A and B are shown apart, each in its own frame.
Chain A
Amino acid sequence: AQSVAQPEDQVNVAEGNPLTVKCTYSVSGNPYLFWYVQYPNRGLQFLLKYITGDNLVKGSYGFEAEFNKSQTSFHLKKPSALVSDSALYFCAVSRRGSTLGRLYFGRGTQLTVWP
């Protein structure tokens, strides 16, 4: 069975501070890992993905994510948060070798960046 855990419903940070949104997964094999962001009244936007190689993945809008195989984690990070980063963030995995690329989502983490 595939599962993705985002342990925090809500993360609050001050603008300019670093932010971390946590994600752990339980998937058979070596999955593909994704982060998506959803702004109010919008669909999901792709931020970044981990396929293989370097454990630090850089994505859109200054976000990056660190893959840790031993801890089965894929935490999203940004060195300096912006108020405009406030949104709902979803971690997702798909099984390697699955042609349809079916996504299994975490429950989401609401990020609030206050001025």
Chain B
Amino acid sequence: DAKTTQPPSMDCAEGRAANLPCNHSTISGNEYVYWYRQIHSQGPQYIIHGLKNNETNEMASLIITEDRKSSTLILPHATLRDTAVYYCIVRVDNAGNMLTFGGGTRLMVKP
């Protein structure tokens, strides 16, 4: 599986867009990019995933660069409840060894 690199922490003002970057320069052609978040003391929550096209759902948008070596998770209007650790994970989309969570980015949304 491709290794991912994320900044350890970021701040964002409430109401502004939060842009969380992830580098995955060794990603292979059949690997998807997944994003999860973990709010303090809770189980992780699936946010979004994509292969090569940009994706959007009710929670967030995922922008993947054309060379697929990096991606950005966008929370369009961050709220205090979005304060969490955000994990970027790259996996081939088949049954295998399940997910591997790294250190993630601790996003602090401030009023």
Is B a genuine binding partner of A?
no
Query: Which A residues have a C-beta under 8 Å from some C-beta of B?
Result: none
By a beta-carbon cutoff of 8 Å, the part of chain B in contact with chain A is none
